[in-house]
Amino acid sequence: MELCVDVRNLWFTYPDGREALRGINLSVSPGEKVALVGPNGAGKSTLLLILAGLLRGQGTVRLFGEPLNDGNLKRMRSRIGLVFQDPDDQLFSPTVFDDVAYGPLYAGLPEEEVKRRVSWALAQMGLEGFAERLSHHLSVGEKKRVAVATVLSMQPEILLLDEPTSGLDPRARRRLIGLLAELRQTMLVATHDMRLVAELLPRTVILDGGRVVADGPTEEILADDVLLENHGLERP
């Protein structure tokens, strides 16, 4: 079976000259759930933005076996769902309904299907009855769940989640982990929440200074105290 994500020697420099990624190699098979950990500024968010086709670096990025290029960019974006670190960036519409409907609408689906997808995605995240709520009235935890719903409604094959549990209270966090565990999609989760990693994600990739410094089964990596210590991480 072909790889979902295949990144070879990926470099990325921000316009102000900051080298955020320095030679990343990473491949992910369909159905894998991978943790992306590392200190602040390691390049996790940047890598996710590149995988979603929103930034372009040097090196090759292959998604579903095809190299990412201008021709297939729009199509690839529709197969990948990215949940941004800050839900206020993700939820840009006045109401929850408008936001969850956004992806399906721009995918050109018929109106009935759009509405069906919205109620399905909201139900998946335990948000029945939230459709008419105003985004700015939601609590942080609700915003995070709506943010995930906005990409679920697109039914993407890969989910890229940037810090899904930050700012959540323990109950909201538990609930979100439970919901994510039930999803079947390939998942790449950038996080500082090591308990989330231990419970949800069988494989872990450590990023530091724009490089992959470790890649392996979560159990093994979490058992290696020296490795964790060196990269500013700790056991759950």
Partner 1 sequence: MHIHALDTYCPGTSPIHRLDPRVKLVLTGLFILTAALVPDREWGAFGALEALVLLTILLSSVGLVRVQRRSAVAMPFVLAALTVAFSTPGRVLWRLPLPGIPLTVTDAGLLRFLSIAARSYLSVQAAILLAATTPFPDLLWGMRALRIPRTLVAITGFLYRYLFVLADEARRMLQAREARSGAPDGRGGGSVAWRAQVTGSMAGTLFLRSYERSERIYMAMLARGYDGTVRTLSPPSLRLVDWIVGLLVGMLLAALLLLTFDA
Ligand X SMILES: Nc1ncnc2c1ncn2[C@@H]1O[C@H](COP(=O)(O)OP(=O)(O)OP(=O)(O)O)[C@@H](O)[C@H]1O
Interface residues with ligand X (CB under 6 A)?
A: 14, 16, 18, 20, 38, 40-46
Find out whether 32 and 204 touch, Cβ atoms under 8 Å: no
Site string for partner 1, 10-49 (x = CB under 8 A): ---------------------------------------x
Report the C-alpha gap between 6 and 33 in whole angstroms.
15
Find out whether 207 and 47 touch, Cβ atoms under 8 Å: yes
Pick the stretch among 31-39, 121-129, 132-140, 182-190 that binds partner 1 (CB under 8 A).
132-140
Of positions 115, 174, 211, 231, contacts partner 1 by CB under 8 A? 115
Of positions 20, 42, 82, 233, contacts partner 1 by CB under 8 A? 82
Find out whether 83 and 147 touch, Cβ atoms under 8 Å: yes
Q: Is 218 in the site for Mg ion (CB under 5 A)?
A: no
Q: Is 191 in the site for Mg ion (CB under 5 A)?
A: no
Nearest distance, CB of residue 137 and ligand X, angstroms: 26
Per the listing, tokens 């985004």 go with: 135
Pick the stretch among 15-23, 97-105, 165-173, 204-212 that binds partner 1 (CB under 8 A).
97-105
Instruction: Tally the residues of the chain.
Output: 236
Q: Is 80 in the site for partner 1 (CB under 8 A)?
A: yes
Pick the stretch among 42-50, 64-72, 125-133, 169-177 that binds Mg ion (CB under 5 A).
42-50
Give the β-pairing of 158-162 and 80-83: parallel
Closest CA to 93 of 45, 12, 149: 149
Of positions 45, 153, 165, 186, contacts Mg ion by CB under 5 A? 45
Of the pair 45, 165, the CB lying nearest Mg ion is at 45
Residue 113 binds which entry of ligand X, Mg ion, partner 1, none, CB below 5-8 Å type-dependent:
none
Q: Is 135 in the site for partner 1 (CB under 8 A)?
A: yes
Residue 125 binds which entry of Mg ion, partner 1, ligand X, none, CB below 5-8 Å type-dependent:
none
User: b or e along 62-79 (b: 16 or more beta carbons within 10 Å of the residue's beta carbon)?
Assistant: bbbeeebeeeeeeebbbb
Helix, strand, or coil (residue 217): strand
Q: Where are the beta strands (DSSP E) in the chain?
A: 5-13, 19-28, 33-37, 58-63, 66-67, 80-83, 158-162, 186-190, 203-208, 211-217
Residue 46 binds which entry of Mg ion, partner 1, ligand X, none, CB below 5-8 Å type-dependent:
ligand X
